[in-house]
Amino acid sequence: MIILGIDPGYAILGYGLVKYDRGSLTVLDYGVIETKPDKTFPERLEILHRGMQLLIERFKPDHIAFEELFFYHNAKTVIPVAAGRGVALLAAQEAGLPLYEYTPMQIKLSVTGDGHAEKQQVQTMVKLLLKLQKVPKPDDAADALGAAICHASNLGPASEEFRIK
């Protein structure tokens, strides 16, 4: 099963693709879709939407796991980030893929065993769990891989054996 993890954003949307097979995870790809500030708001949303479509076309994920938005410091960025998340969700919905959402606390708990873990702890565990040489950069990509790991840990082995194709 291929899982696409998404860390939603507006300027930067992180993605991480893992293959989940019999309890084992393998990284297929990770990175970010970036939008530049010199683009208009609609152009930036189009870039995010098209980037998601290209990821889905290229890797053909079975499930997509989104990190839910969580803001408590900068309310000014909530609306554009929510719009970016919306077009990413739309691309997944258009592809007819199952969508799953996890809170930052659920992801941290799943990856580190501590729902209040610091960002650096999560990134280190993502590196260890996926047997990577270094912590994935930028942070948004590591967070997206964390969402994918969280989803895999919530599936269990029966999801692969009894999945309807």
pLDDT digits (tens, 9 = 90+) for 81-113: 889 999 999 999 999 999 999 999 999 999 999
Count of residues making up the chain? 165
Give the per-residue pLDDT at 23: 85
Cβ neighbours of residue 147 closer than 8 Å, sequence gap 6 or more: 5, 6, 7, 16, 65, 66, 67, 102, 107
3-state secondary structure of 100: strand
- Which helix (DSSP H) or strand (DSSP E) does residue 148 occupy? helix 139-155
Question: What span, in angstroms and rounded, lies between the C-alpha atoms of 22 and 119?
Answer: 28
Question: What pairs with residue 34 in β-bridges?
Answer: 12
Q: Which of 21, 43, 46, 67 is catalytic?
A: 67
Q: What is the mean pLDDT of residues 101-130?
A: 94
Task: State if pTM tops 0.85.
Answer: yes
Domains and CATH numbers, the chain: 2-161 (3.30.420.10)
34 is catalytic: no
3 contacts 65 by C-beta, under 8 angstroms: yes
101 is catalytic: no
Q: Which of 140, 143, 160, 161 is catalytic?
A: 140
For residue 165, pLDDT beyond 60: no
Give the per-residue pLDDT at 162: 39
7 is catalytic: yes
More confident residue, 90 or 158: 90
